[in-house]
């Protein structure tokens, strides 16, 4: 799998960074919005929202 599809996600409540290989745009979709996921933050030990940032 190539590095082109890597997406950098940053926690809104801490400085923790999460890397994922999910595609921003699926087949033919023109979604310009940044991705958001609710993931576990090990520094805070709770679930927080992660937003897409620049690589």
pTM of the complete model: 0.72
Kindly list the domain boundaries of the chain, sorted by start residue: 3-22+33-53
* Structural tokens at position 17: 């960074």
Q: What is the CATH number of domain 3-22+33-53?
A: 2.20.28.120
Q: Tell me the per-residue pLDDT of 2-45, one tens digit each, with 9 for 90 and over.
A: 666 788 999 999 999 999 887 655 555 556 778 899 999 999 99
Rounded to 5°, the CA angle 28-30-35 comes to 115
pLDDT of residue 6: 85
pLDDT of residue 49: 96
Q: Tell me the per-residue pLDDT of 35-54, one tens digit each, with 9 for 90 and over.
A: 899 999 999 999 999 999 98
pLDDT of residue 55: 74
Strands of the sheet containing 7-11, edge to edge, are 17-20, 7-11, 46-53, 36-41
């Amino acid at each position: 799998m190539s590095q082109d599809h890597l997406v950098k996600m940053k926690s809104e409540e801490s400085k923790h960074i999460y890397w994922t290989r999910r595609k921003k745009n699926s087949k033919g979709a023109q979604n310009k919005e940044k991705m958001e996921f609710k993931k576990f933050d090990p520094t805070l030990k709770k679930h927080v929202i992660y937003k897409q940032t620049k690589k």
